[in-house]
Amino acid sequence: MSKKNVREVALDILLQIEKNQAYSNLLLNQSIKREKLIEKDVGLLTEIVYGTIQRKNTLDYYLSSYVKGGLKKLDPWVLILLRLSLYQMIYLDRVPERAIVHEAVEITKKKGHKGISSMVNGTLRTFLREGIPSLEKVEDPHEKLALQWSHPTWLVKRWLDQFGSEQTKQICEINAVPPVVTARINQVQTDDIEKVIEMLGNEGVEAERGDLSVDSIKITRGTLPNTKLFKDGWLSIQDESSMIVARALAPKAGMKVLDSCAAPGGKTTHIAELMNNQGEIYALDLHEHKVKLIDEQANRLNLSIIKTRATDSRKAGEIFEEESFDCILVDAPCTGLGVIRRKPDIKWQKQEADIDRITTIQHAILNAVAPLLKKGGRLVYSTCTIDSMENEQVVKEFLETHQDFRFDGTLRERLPEKAQALYKDGMVQILPSDFQTDGFFISSMVKL
Ligand SMILES: C[S@@+](CC[C@H](N)C(=O)[O-])C[C@H]1O[C@@H](n2cnc3c(N)ncnc32)[C@H](O)[C@@H]1O
């Protein structure tokens, strides 16, 4: 039994996210450990936290019909408590509505004064009586879609321009569906996926082959990080579309590789595995604490060819010689708009201006590492966002200003069969709605 109940923990987490722009996944993990929650409560907590963040604007719209004087006058914790209660009432079938109201009122009594608890009680009971308010009154068509699909209006507008109505709807819908856990098999240990699935079964974890990447399995039951197999470095947790990136780079044993934006090391370690742990990989990231994460993963996976370094890759030219690498990966910092289902806070924290800002860094990193690639070498640029400005536009501008680079037409062959249809002109944009994976952009270029 935990000291705090699940809704109180959810309220604390959501409040911290709102106040400090903290990341939901990190806070959830910390709280689960600290409160020693049982498995059933972990499931409910995760659902309430992610779901309430996912539906924030929609829930606020509904609440605004019932809170006299508007939501702005509410203390942040009261607003969040109302939001998470409404979320459970509308989207979770298994929690009885009376229990939701009762819990909310109990929490207000503990935290607030009597006035607040009767306001919370009244608001939730009126909602139960009168039901979900209609969106008909919302005049702006983009705002209406944004409320219907629970995404910010600016983002819906942008996606409608880039992907059209049907695809935008699908992206928004899939963004609200929690991802399945997928893992990559460490090729240095074995390439026999069935054997790994069987060995996991012996440790009480059920898995099956992944849907997209040749390297992947899907965990259908159990907790992978608790297994000996995981601790011994046979697998890494990674999204399936993310696994495509190292395959697109196609490094060979003995090569010298630069991974310019490497932490926490998901792709660096995959590259090392594909090189059968032979050769050299230089893995850069900005800060020492991030670089340590790469070392930790490399140690767990028994990979010895990764040399990490805390450095700004825009200054990589000061460290490495020109034309000294066989291949280079720029898995660039980006807005992360392809991983909203995993980190729902992204959609409320990012602003449209962030896209512009981050492209400056993306260009700068590409420009800095380009001279370091050998002639005939391959440069892969990837992001986990789906915005054309951070993806196609960055690559096109890079090619316009670097006449010695061309699109690499062989990328298509290195994509999983299912993703080959999405290949276009040296690039592939995978949307979260395509295969229920993270959204990813990958482009491959060669130096003449
Ligand atoms: C998309 S993440 C990389 C994920 C990593 N490749 C993986 O697969 O685990 C982008 C990384 O770029 C790093 N970064 C941002 N600006 C950078 C810069 N100027 N130089 C080096 N790394 C940078 C960030 O710290 C972040 O860890």
For 115-166, the pLDDT digits (tens) are 899 999 999 999 999 999 999 999 999 999 999 999 999 999 999 999 999 9
Any atom of ligand 1 within 6 Å of the Cβ of 133? no
Question: Is 264 labelled as part of a ligand binding site?
Answer: yes
Cβ partners under 8 Å of residue 245, min gap 6: 267, 270, 329, 331, 380, 382, 440, 442
**pLDDT of 29 strictly over 90:** no
pLDDT of 135: 94
Average pLDDT over the chain reads 95
Question: Is 60 labelled as part of a ligand binding site?
Answer: no
- ipTM greater than 0.95, yes or no? yes
pLDDT of 111: 86
**pLDDT of 4 strictly over 80:** no
**pLDDT of 3 strictly over 80:** no
First-to-last CA distance in the chain? 64
Positive or negative, the Cα torsion across 333, 334, 339, 345? Answer: positive
Cβ atoms of 341 and 182 closer than 8 Å: no
**pLDDT of 277 strictly over 50:** yes
8-state DSSP, 73: G
Short-list 46, 36, 15, 43, CA closest to 342: 46
**pLDDT of 389 strictly over 60:** yes
Over range 72-78, report the average pLDDT: 93
Per residue in 405-446, pLDDT (tens digit) is: 999 999 999 999 999 999 999 999 999 999 999 999 999 999
Question: Is 172 labelled as part of a ligand binding site?
Answer: no
Ligand 1 centroid from CA 197, angstroms: 31
pLDDT of 271: 98
pLDDT of 2: 43
**Residue 173: in which H helix or E strand, if any?**
helix 153-175
Q: Helical H runs in 36-152?
A: 39-54, 56-64, 76-91, 97-111, 114-130, 141-149
Looking at 11-25, 165-179, 405-419, which range is the least confident one? 11-25
State the Cα angle at 99 between 98 and 105, rounded to 5°: 95
Over range 249-261, report the average pLDDT: 98
| Residue showing tokens 């944009």 | 429
Over range 330-357, report the average pLDDT: 95
Residue whose CA is at the smallest distance from ligand 1 atom 27: 263
Over range 177-183, report the average pLDDT: 94
Any atom of ligand 1 within 6 Å of the Cβ of 292? no
**pLDDT of 400 strictly over 70:** yes
Q: For the chain, list the domains and their CATH numbers.
A: 6-133 (1.10.940.10), 143-176 (no CATH), 181-237 (3.30.70.1170), 243-447 (3.40.50.150)
Cβ atoms of 408 and 376 closer than 8 Å: no
pLDDT of 1: 39
pLDDT of 69: 86
Residues with a known catalytic role: 384
pLDDT of 20: 82
Looking at 91-100, 231-240, 324-333, which range is the least confident one? 91-100
Distance between CA atoms of 301 and 387, rounded to whole angstroms? Answer: 33
**pLDDT of 213 strictly over 60:** yes
Cβ atoms of 217 and 210 closer than 8 Å: yes
Residue whose CA is at the smallest distance from ligand 1 atom 12: 261
Any atom of ligand 1 within 6 Å of the Cβ of 270? no
Out of 261, 312, 440, 441, mutate this one to test ligand 1's pocket (max ligand atoms within 8 Å of CB): namely 261
State the amino acid at position 314 in one-letter form.
R
- pLDDT over 70 for what percent of the chain? 99
